[in-house]
């Protein structure tokens, strides 16, 4: 099947800013949409976003990109065959002709590339995750969920650290989401009891945004809650240190620190409240921070080091930095690089370096749930999907549940998904859409690859498969924790947790606790 029509639209993301949606229609009448997210905390080497400038929407409009797609790009691809992702993306990259997509914009290209992938899967009559798995020869695996519970940095006021996350130790969606739900709603009540009704307000990714708190109070609450729950979780941070670094100094937690002192602060937090991972612990242009990462002992690191602003979903950057094994995990965000093919290449580069793959949303999200199919299809270790709050985040949680339900309904052997196509519970194909057809030009024939550098609750659970990337070994025991400098809030926090949490079994001497 071939492309019949390409229609771009200016829509709005979760922050109310303009972004691009692209719809591609095939000559069989099927269609697919892809909506492009945007980030607030951005790495220097991310693909450029094309914005209109001027007064409308504070210069953030994307109507110039819409015009480019309609009048320049779309006519070149009418009649182009589906199912040739590498070639399609290679032509987009060649049309742009710049290293960071400055000419057409990474957001412009991603809208096209993502819609093309989705439509190719629909024409193959396969769920998107299965099409992705077969394209990449990967084994689908549910990722661990990195859920944002409290936000700061550029996502919410009040805190320097950008994300305080919990990571359920199970990767079964129904069970993991239940853990996240319990944590989120209990911590919400704790923060309201400590800081008043305004603590119920949320940031860009749905994480709570309590004013007046600090890192140790949050980690103390997480740690206490974890000890009272049957189903356990790990604690993860996204420092996004670019946001509080200036002229060689980090201003964090009312302190001014150099990289070596900042590492000591992280280690102190970890000693009191064991931390699973820290993302972007230092600024990407801090040479001292990079040298510290190179010298951290392996495999005795106290926590996993995750790269995002450093690596920006760029194969070349990942390969360069991983020569020194700087990162234990790599964040993958398709809009950082601009096409689906380059996203797949970055995933392969991360895996080749033995780093864990973590697919991630952006702070300016849409209701597009593509990243869930991507994470499951490539068997990523993790997925960052925000809090179970706000529609654009909940869409990702719901897609996880949908995939699990489809698998259970179809009784599929997950370890060999290519043996059969999965029949989704919802209709994948759409009826032909009667919309005006854009000006057609001569079809582009297929071209060679351009090689441009750059536990379940269902009654009948699916059989488990071995993880593509095994979970990390348990952290070594830490030295006895020192008395918290925030000890004066301890009784208040205990009371808040005990007042907020539903009952569990067995009972604790602290009173009624959480059930899971």
Name the pLDDT band for 483 (thresholds 50, 70, 90): very low
**pTM, rounded to two decimals:** 0.82
The answer on pLDDT for 296 being more than 50 is: yes
456, 175 Cβ separation under 8 angstroms? yes
The residue from 4, 333, 356, 384 that is catalytic is 333
The residue from 46, 205, 220, 342 that is catalytic is 205
CA distance 470 to 141: 11
pLDDT the model gives residue 261: 97
Is residue 323 annotated as a catalytic residue, yes or no? no
207, 150 Cβ separation under 8 angstroms? yes
Of 63-77, 168-182, 269-283, 410-424, the one with minimum mean pLDDT is 410-424
Of 69-83, 97-111, 160-174, 406-420, the one with minimum mean pLDDT is 406-420
Share of the chain above pLDDT 90, in %: 75
The answer on pLDDT for 462 being more than 50 is: no
Name the pLDDT band for 417 (thresholds 50, 70, 90): low
Q: Per residue, what are the HEC states of 96-142?
A: HCCCCCCCCCHHHHHHHHHHHHHHHHHHCCCCHHHHHHHHHCCCCCC
Residue extents of the structural domains in the chain:
3-125, 136-419
Q: How is residue 138 written in tokens?
A: 């990967």
Is residue 205 annotated as a catalytic residue, yes or no? yes
CA distance 289 to 252: 15
State mean pLDDT over 332-353: 98
The answer on pLDDT for 370 being more than 60 is: yes
136-419 CATH, one of 3.20.20.120, 3.40.50.620, 3.40.50.970, 3.40.50.1100: 3.20.20.120
User: Which fold, 3-125?
Assistant: Enolase-like; domain 1 (3.30.390)
- Of the ranges 39-43, 161-165, 409-413, the best mean pLDDT one: 161-165
Of 238-247, 415-424, 464-473, the one with minimum mean pLDDT is 464-473
Is the backbone peptide bond immediately before 91 cis, with ω within 30 degrees of 0?
no
Mean per-residue pLDDT over the chain, rounded: 85
Stronger pLDDT, 478 or 349, i.e. the higher one: 349
The answer on pLDDT for 501 being more than 50 is: no
């Amino acid at each position: 099947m071939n492309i019949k029509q390409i229609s771009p639209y200016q829509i709005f993301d979760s922050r109310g800013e303009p972004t691009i949606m692209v719809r591609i229609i095939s000559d069989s009448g099927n269609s697919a949409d892809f909506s492009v997210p945007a980030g607030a905390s951005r790495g220097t080497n991310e693909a450029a976003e094309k914005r209109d400038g001027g007064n409308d929407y504070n210069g953030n409009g994307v109507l110039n990109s819409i015009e480019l797609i309609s009048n320049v790009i779309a006519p070149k691809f009418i009649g182009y065959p589906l199912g040739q992702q590498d070639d399609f993306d290679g032509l987009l990259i060649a049309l742009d002709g710049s290293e960071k997509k400055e000419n057409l914009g990474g957001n412009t290209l991603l809208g096209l590339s993502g819609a093309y992938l989705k439509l190719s899967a629909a024409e193959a009559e396969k769920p998107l995750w299965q099409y992705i798995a077969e394209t990449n020869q990967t084994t689908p695996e549910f990722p661990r969920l990195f859920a944002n519970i409290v936000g700061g940095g550029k996502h919410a006021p009040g805190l320097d650290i950008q994300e305080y996350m919990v990571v359920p130790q199970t990767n079964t969606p129904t069970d993991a989401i239940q853990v996240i739900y319990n944590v989120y709603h209990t911590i919400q009540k704790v923060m309201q009891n400590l800081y008043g009704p305004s603590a119920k307000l949320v940031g860009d990714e749905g994480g709570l945004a309590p004013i007046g708190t600090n890192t140790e109070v949050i980690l103390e609450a997480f740690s206490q809650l974890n000890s009272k729950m049957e189903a356990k979780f790990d604690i993860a941070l996204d420092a996004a240190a670019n946001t509080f670094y200036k002229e060689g100094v980090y201003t964090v937690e009312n302190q001014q620190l150099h990289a070596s002192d900042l590492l000591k602060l992280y280690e102190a937090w970890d000693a009191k409240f064991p931390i699973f991972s820290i993302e972007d612990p230092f600024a990407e242009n801090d040479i001292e921070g990079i040298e510290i990462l190179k010298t951290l002992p392996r495999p005795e690191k106290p926590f996993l080091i995750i790269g995002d602003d450093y690596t920006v979903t760029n194969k070349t950057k990942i390969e360069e930095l991983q020569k020194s094994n700087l990162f234990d995990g790599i964040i993958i965000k398709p809009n950082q690089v601009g096409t689906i093919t380059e996203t797949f290449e970055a995933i392969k580069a991360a895996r080749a370096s033995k780093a864990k793959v973590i697919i991630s949303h952006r702070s300016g999200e849409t209701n597009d749930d593509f990243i869930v199919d991507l994470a499951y299809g490539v068997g990523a270790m993790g997925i960052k999907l925000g809090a179970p709050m706000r529609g654009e985040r909940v869409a990702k949680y719901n897609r996880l549940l949908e995939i699990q339900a489809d698998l259970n309904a179809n009784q599929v052997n997950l370890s060999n998904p290519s043996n059969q196509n999965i029949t989704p519970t919802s209709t994948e194909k759409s009826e032909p859409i009667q919309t005006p057809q854009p000006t057609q030009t001569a079809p582009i024939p297929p071209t060679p690859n351009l090689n441009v550098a750059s536990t379940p609750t269902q009654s009948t659970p699916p059989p488990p498969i071995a993880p593509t990337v095994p979970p990390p070994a348990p952290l070594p025991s830490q030295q006895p924790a020192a008395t918290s400098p925030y000890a004066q809030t301890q009784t208040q926090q205990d009371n808040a947790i005990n007042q907020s949490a539903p009952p569990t079994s067995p009972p604790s001497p602290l009173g009624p606790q959480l059930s899971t």
